Amino acid sequence: MTVTEQAFSLNFSLLSKFINEDEKFKYAEIISNIHEEMHASTSKDKGAIGWIDLALKQNREEVDRILSVANEIRDKSAVLIVIGIGGSYLGAKAVQDALSPYFSKQTDKTEVIYAGQNMSGAYINQLLQYIENREVYVNVISKSGTTLEPAISFRVIKSYMEKRYGEEMKNRIILTTDPTNGLLRKLAKEEGFRSFEVPADVGGRFSVLTPVGLFPLAVGEIDIKALLDGAKQATNDLMISNFKENEAYEYALSRYLLEKKGYILEIMASFEPSLRNVFEWWKQLFGESEGKDGKGIFPVSVTYTTDLHSIGQYVQAGKRQIFETILHIRNQKEDHTLKYVDNNFDQLNFLENKTFHDMNTIAKNSTILAHYDGEVPVIQVEMNQLDEYHLGYLLYFFQKACAMSAYLSGVNPFDQPGVESYKNNIFALLNKPGYESIKEELEERLDQIFSENK
Dihedral (CA of 343, 348, 353, 355) sign: negative
Q: Is 260 within 8 Å of 295 (Cβ atoms)? A: no
By the 10 Å C-beta count (0-12 exposed, 13-18 middle, 19+ buried), 268 is classed as: buried
Residue 48, amino acid: A
Cα gap 400→101, rounded to integer Å: 29
- Whether a cis peptide bond, with omega within 30° of 0, leads into 176 is no
Q: Which of 288, 290, 324, 388 is catalytic?
A: 288
423: annotated active-site residue: yes
295: annotated active-site residue: no
Residue 286's contacts (CB-CB under 8 Å, 6 or more residues apart) are: 266, 296, 297, 299, 398, 402, 405
Cα gap 422→400, rounded to integer Å: 28
Q: Which of 225, 244, 261, 423 is catalytic?
A: 423
Cα gap 40→50, rounded to integer Å: 12
Nearest Cα neighbor of 407 from 90, 88, 86, 32 is 32
Q: Where in the sequence numbering do the catalytic residues fall?
A: 288, 423
